[in-house]
Structure 1
Amino acid sequence: MGKSLILALLILGLLGGNVAAQTKEAVFAGGCFWCLEGPFDALPGVLGTESGYTGGQLPNPTYEQVSSGTSGHIEAMRVKYDPELVDFGKLLDVFWRNIDPTDAGGQFCDRGPQYRSAVFFADEAEESIARASKAELEAARGFKIVTEILPRTEFYAAEEYHQDYYKKNPLRYHFYRQGCGRDQRLRQLWGAESKK
């Protein structure tokens, strides 16, 4: 192997290592996972989103198992992001304004424990940021936030047809979102901030 090839491989390895080190993940649950992807995908610094399931004991759950409410899992979304461009606190700002944090029975027209809202933390720093963010919102808004703050557990990607549903099926997604009353409730709770 020539010296120039070895040097090129070393440089690529170093660059690749830096890129990987700059990627972090966050997991949020806010009812239907289809409805959380768009707001996060639009946020600068977010590299991608993935719909899935977390919080239960059943390995590799299916949509049918989770939506039945018997698997212990919650519909959730994993966000991959560059922490140099967006931080966990900003992700929380977007999350709060796209859910109803006062509803313990699910989200909007999706009812049951599998649709409840939650922030999943990876470490003590994320837990502290999430709890502080929740307390600040309660103080500023004057409402009781029931969204859970839980340790992150295994995340299972949802079936392919759920990924980027809002892009693949824009008309069906629009009717679902409107019929579920999501945007109306978000405007009631957050006013102009619901468009953040």
Structure 2
Amino acid sequence: MGVIRTPKPVKLFIAILYPEREILESVKPALREHFGEIEWESPHLPFTHTDYYRSIGEKLTRVFLVFEPLIDPGQLADIKITTNQIEAQTGDGEKERRINLDPGYFDGGKIVLATTKNFSHRVYIGKGIYAEATIKWEKGAFRPFEYTYPDYASEAYQPILLKIRELYRKSLAERESSTR
């Protein structure tokens, strides 16, 4: 029989798609209020991988915000619910929302993303939310699964994912040294 253990804390990030910088800036205070200080903001990259998000804008940009505090991975469903509420607040009468906030975390071995959509490779984590291991850390690099989103599998995202990994390892080491 396996022993039930509390999981190690994980590094929270939110992958954001936005059409205009002012929309991004307008949600940052709410993100800080709910998730803590922003530890790192990635470079802003053009998002050209799909037109699925055209309902929020035609020309989209992707940025990752990484948050200082480590979190319990069991919080992911509540975090997704909160980010959906923040998205809804950006609606303008014409558009239901003007930003896309995709929370996820790095746990040392994989990037996990939250979603409201079920699919064969996703696991229900409660409250109407599913999670998927989006890309794995293996043999010194991030390696995609067959279902990994093309943007996460791209070379352009590798430095960003590596930075998230670096910040996680640093935060975990600081946490472990402070508990000794």
- Give the TM interval when normalised to the shorter protein: 0.3 to 0.5
Q: Which has the higher contact order (CA 8 A, sep 6+)?
A: 1
Q: TM-score, normalised by structure 2?
A: 0.37
Q: TM-score, normalised by structure 1?
A: 0.34
